[in-house]
Structure 1
Amino acid sequence: MNTISYHYDAQKITAGILHIGVGNFHRAHQQFYTNAILESEDQKQWGICGVCLLPSDEKTVHHLRAQDLEYSLTVCGRNGTDEVYKIGSLRELIWGIEDPEAVISKIASHSIKIITLTITEGGYNLDKETGEFNLNDEKIQFDLKNNGTPATVFGFVAEGLRRRKMENNGGITILSCDNLQHNGNTAKRAFMAFIEAQDKDLAKWVKMNVTFPNSMVDRITPSVSAEDIDRLTKKSGIPDLAPVYCEDFVQWVIEDHFIAGRPAWERAGVEFTDDVTAFENMKLSLLNASHTLLSYPSFLMGYRKVDQAMEDQVIVQFIRNFMDTDITPLVPAPANTDLEEYKNTLIERFANHSVSDQVSRLCFDGISKFPVYVVPNLITMIKAGMDLTRVAFLTASYRHYLKYKTDEHGHSYEIGEPWLTAEDQKLIDDEDPAAFLGLSAFKGAGLEGSLKFVERYTEFAGQIKNKGTGQVLKSIIK
């Protein structure tokens, strides 16, 4: 195994980026790119100050601090060859639960030019039907009153920007790194709605002094279990309480709209563009939607690792048919992109044994994923009169996964749906499969108005219950 250490003096790196949400993906993606460009003498001001805002972040914070914020990243090659990178670009780490004032002060600091975010698809607090920011949320209401330590990311950022304005510390860029279509527009809509409601003077300043570029991010990064920590440490020979591992494929496309400057990430392979739309559509519609398509049927069939599921040629053909028949006609390829090669690479990435991603991770938070990855193209497919077989089967599989909580081998499981509402649960419990189409994940899609979709979906719901997911899946493979 090849170990690649950084060669810059970490003590001479200053933080120009503040990142909120120091999870595995961030540490395998943005930190990876940033670590590479810090080797250049003219980039020493672009280190990263990590910010964690949740009580559940305590273990990560303590582990990273125990090793001076350095950690190992194992990049798992599709050819079976791995490389280990020592990452030193995380120069500061603030835990908001422990020191909220430090978070606010850092956002306000003149040295910070960019705030980046990985707060998950559901973290932007947008109503799934209207797309509007939910001002009625209890924690949002608390922060709007500005009467204590902020309870949300919106409260922290608003307070930091308010102080930045007061201290005349200049403009700043807020760059979302979450898997959302037009994630910059989403971040702008959410933060501006909050700030407008809390402080109209600050909102005027933000409109003139804060930019929100869209970006597209891509790198499969599994969660890390205690067993993974032992495995990675033994394999690399590097003692590490907080290792990360990921696939060898990595991509980041960003709209070049940074009001206060940016790192030269292009030196490490980041692509800058005027419009990220075509890249977003390709990635969300092919990679993310295919992950969702794979997740629930595979889990119900008893698979717990993605690479194991990809050994089942029925599942592989199911995904390939979805990509070729359902999605390719709807997704124009970005310039200089070979769509056939991209799809072939996706199949290779999903089957990468060295990464061995968890199917449960793909199943997590379907309520937030369906509206972003599946529903937009499904609406287009319905209007165009396209074949709805595979997406109807996916929807029926999702219902079965949420409703019965037992796979076809009799193994029970816990679901991970942090945004599931009481009304959603009633629809899941309803014995009429059609009721499920009112789930918050599908609101605004009008699925119940498509007789063709409802009939196909209802048929699959009954078949999955009576025959099992695997047998039904075999029947729809062409």
Structure 2
Amino acid sequence: MNIIENRYKSEGVISGILHFGVGNFHRAHQAYYANELLMRHDHQDWGICGVSLMKTDAKIIEGLRAQNLNYTLTVCASNGDKRVHQIGAITELLVGYEDPQAVIAKIASKSIRIISLTITEGGYNLDKETGEFILNNENISHDLQHPNTPATVFGFVAEGLRARMRQGNGGITILSCDNLQHNGHTAQKAFTSFIQAQDSELADWMSSHVTFPNSMVDRITPSTTPADIERLNQNSGIQDLVPVYCEDFIQWVIEDDFVAGRPAWDLVGVQFTDDVSAFENMKLSLLNASHTLLSYPSFLKGYRAVDQAMQDQDIRTFVQEFMDKDVTPYVPAPPDTDLTEYKQILIERFSNSAVSDQVSRLCFDGISKFPVYIMPTLAQMIRDDQDLTRMAFLFAVYRHYLKYQVDDTGQAFVFAEPWLTPEDQLLLHSENPVDFLGFSAFKSVQLKASDSFVESYHIFVVGIKEHGVAKTLSSILFR
């Protein structure tokens, strides 16, 4: 086992980044890059102060604190090779509901020059239909009225920036690391909307003191189960309470717009550019959309690991045809990128048995994923009168997954959709399948107005209910 140890002392590192969300992806991606840079001894002012606002992170917090915030990251190649990195880039860890004033003070600190975020697609609190920030959310309303006791990331950042402004500690960059098209613009919309509603003076200060670069992040990082922890620790020989594992592929492309300076991440593989749009579009439309496409039929066919699902020739063909026929016409290749090669690498990454990503992770929170990964391409396909077969099948499978909660093998399950609205529940319970097309996640496109989409979708709804997902999928591929 190849173990790569830290070559720096955490005690000598200064936190220059404050990051909200210390889950597995952050620890496999941004913290990994930070760790690589800290290995170079002249870059010791770019450690990470991690912040958690969620009680669901309690086990991660407890585990990190028990081992001085160090953890192991096992990087798994498809050929079975594994490298274990000892990561010490998270040099401080704060918990918002334990000590909110400590988080606020840290944001205000002059040493913090970047606030980064992995708060999930739904965490930006934007209406899926209008794109506007939802001000009447209960927690948002609380934070607007009680700035000194924030509960949300928006309340914490606003109060921290207010203190920063008053102390004269200069500007700061807010860097989204979530899978969103133009995630910097999304973050800017969300934080600016909140702060404009709370404090016009701070909003004016932000306009010249805060930047929101767009970025594209990529690294498949599964959730870590108790069995994974035992396996990872046995392989590494290190008893780690909160180990992480991931694939060996990694990419981070960032718009170079940092008002208070930035780490020299380009020394460790990060790509800086003036415009990340092409990279974002390629990744979201091909990788993330394909993950969503394969997740629900794979789960309903009884698969629980992505690599196992990709051994199913029908699933593999379904994904390949989706990428080639549905998505590729709408994806301009970024500079120096071969789309054919990129798609082949995606198939190989999905099939990586050393990572064995969970299908349930891909199914999680579809309501936040469809608007970002699926609807933009579908809108263009409907406009251009393209073949909507695979898209219609996906929507029928998603409805079946949510409505019946039993897979083709008879196994019952419980879905996880944290942003499901009461209106969505009514549409889901309706016995008219077309009502489901009014789901909040789909409102950016008038699906009911497309006769060809509705006709195909209805056929698949009936087919899946009568014959199951497996047989219905096969009928698509061999018609």
**What corresponds to 1:408 in structure 2?**
408
TM-superposition CA deviations, 1:248-280 (whole Å, max 9, x none): 100000000000000000111000000000000
* 1:253 equivalent in structure 2: 253
1:306-332 deviations in Å (ceiling 9; x for gaps): 011011011100000000001111101
- Conservation of the 8 A alpha-carbon contact between 2:375 and 2:442: yes
State the alpha-carbon separation in 1 of the partners of residues 42 and 72 from structure 2: 25
TM-superposed CA distance for 1:11, in Å, is 1.4
SS in 1 for 2:133: coil
Looking at structure 1, the residues matched to 396 and 352 of structure 2 have their Cα atoms a distance apart, in angstroms, of 28
Question: Among the aligned pairs, what percent are the same residue?
Answer: 64
The 2-side partners of 1:253 and 1:79 are apart by 26
Within 5 A, what are the aligned runs for 1:320-339?
Answer: 320-339=320-339
Secondary structure in structure 1 of the residue aligned to 2:42: helix
Residue identity in the other structure for 1:163: A
Question: Which moved further from structure 2: 440-449 or 154-163?
Answer: 440-449
1:363 aligns with 2:363: yes
> Which residue of the partner structure matches residue 136 of structure 1?
136
2:305 aligned with 1:305: yes
> Residue 92 of structure 2 aligns with which residue?
92
Counterpart Cα distance in 1 of 2:451 and 2:467: 24
TM-score scaled by length of structure 1: 0.99
* 2:402 partner letter: L
Answering whether residue 225 of structure 2 is matched by residue 222 of structure 1, we say no
In 2: Cα distance, 1:148 partner to 1:200 partner: 17
1:103 aligns to 2:103 (yes or no): yes
Aligned ranges 1:175-186 → 2 under 5 Å: 175-186=175-186
For residue 9 of structure 1, report the CA deviation from its aligned partner: 2.0
CA–CA separation in structure 2 for the residues paired with 1:226 and 1:266: 35
Query: Aligned ranges for residues 16-165 of structure 1 at < 5 Å?
Result: 16-146=16-146, 148-165=148-165
Q: Note the C-alpha offset of 1:444.
A: 2.5
Following the alignment from structure 2 to structure 1, what is the Cα–Cα distance between the partners of residues 26 and 303?
A: 27
**Root-mean-square deviation (Å):** 0.7
1:8 aligned onto 2:8? yes
Q: CA deviation at 1:148?
A: 4.2
Letter in 1 for 2:187: A
Q: Post-superposition shift, 1:179?
A: 0.4
Task: Report what 2:279 is aligned to.
Answer: 279
**2: CA distance, partners of 1:195 / 1:23:** 26
**How far 1:106 sits from its partner (Å)?**
0.2
> Counterparts in 2 of 1:440-451, with a 5 A limit?
440-451=440-451
1:141 counterpart letter in structure 2? S
Say which SS state the counterpart of residue 304 (structure 1) adopts: coil
Is the CA contact (8 Å cut-off) linking 2:371 and 2:444 kept in structure 1?
Answer: no
SS at match of 2:158: helix
Aligned equivalent of 1:265: 265
* Counterpart-to-counterpart distance in 1, 2:136 and 2:42: 46
Separation in 2, partners of 1:281, 1:29: 20
Match of 1:243 in 2: 243
Query: The residue matched to 2:353 in structure 1 has which SS?
Result: coil
Q: Corresponding residue for 2:290?
A: 290
Distance 2:10 2:156 in 1: 28
Q: Distance in 2 between matches of 1:249 and 1:296?
A: 24
Counterpart AA for 1:415: F
SS at match of 1:376: helix
What is the deviation of 1:42?
2.4
Q: Which moved more, 1:39-48 or 1:405-414?
A: 39-48
Secondary structure of the residue aligned to 1:43 is coil
Secondary structure of residue in 2 paired with 1:44? coil
- How many pairs were matched up? 478
What amino acid sits opposite 1:332 in the alignment? P
Aligned partners of 2:398 and 2:62: how far apart in 1? Answer: 37
1:64-101 residue CA offsets vs partner (Å, 9 max, x unmatched): 01000000000010111111000011100001111111
Which ranges of 4 or more aligned residues in structure 1 deviate by more than 6 Å?
none
Distance (Å, rounded) in 2 between the aligned partners of 1:472 and 1:249: 34
Counterpart-to-counterpart distance in 1, 2:90 and 2:121? 24
1:434 equivalent to 2:434? Answer: yes
Amino acid at match of 1:6: N
**Secondary structure of the structure 1 residue equivalent to 2:463:** helix
**For 1:431 and 1:145, how far apart are their aligned partners in 2?**
42
Query: Shift in Å at residue 40 of structure 1?
Result: 1.8
How far apart, CA to CA, are the structure 2 residues paired with 1:302 and 1:429? Answer: 24
Tell me the SS of whatever aligns to 1:41: coil
The one-letter code sitting in structure 2 at the alignment partner of 1:82 is: K
Measure, in 2, the Cα distance between the counterparts of 1:308 and 1:112: 43
Q: TM-score, normalising length from structure 2?
A: 0.99
Instruction: Look up the match of 2:381.
Output: 381
Instruction: Give me the whole-angstrom Cα distance separating, in 2, the residues matched to 1:329 and 1:55.
Output: 43
CA–CA distance in structure 2, aligned partners of residues 100 and 69 of structure 1? 20
Matches within 5 A, 1:387-406: 387-406=387-406
Amino acid at match of 1:310: M
Deviations 1:153-202 (A, max 9, x none): 10000000000000000000000000000000000000000000000000
Q: Any gaps of 5 or more consecutive residues in structure 2?
A: none
Distance 1:61 1:297 in 2: 35
CA contact (8 A) 2:255 2:272 kept: yes
SS at match of 1:141: helix
| Distance in 2, Cα, partners of 1:280 & 1:54 | 28
Q: Deviation string for 1:370-400 (max 9, x for gaps)?
A: 0000001000000001110001000000000
SS at match of 2:334: coil
Quote the Cα distance in structure 2 between the aligned partners of 1:363 and 1:22: 21
Q: Does 1:190 align with 2:190?
A: yes
Cα deviation, 1:356-382, whole Å, max 9, x if unaligned, reads 111000000000000000001000000
CA distance in 2, matches of 1:59, 1:245: 17
The C-alpha deviation readout for 1:206-259, integer Å capped at 9, x for no partner, is: 011000000000000000011111111111101100000000100000000000
- Structure 1 counterpart of 2:151, which letter? A
Q: Greater CA deviation, 59-68 or 162-171? A: 59-68
State the AA in 2 paired with 1:446. Q
The answer to whether the 8 A contact 2:221-2:246 is kept is yes
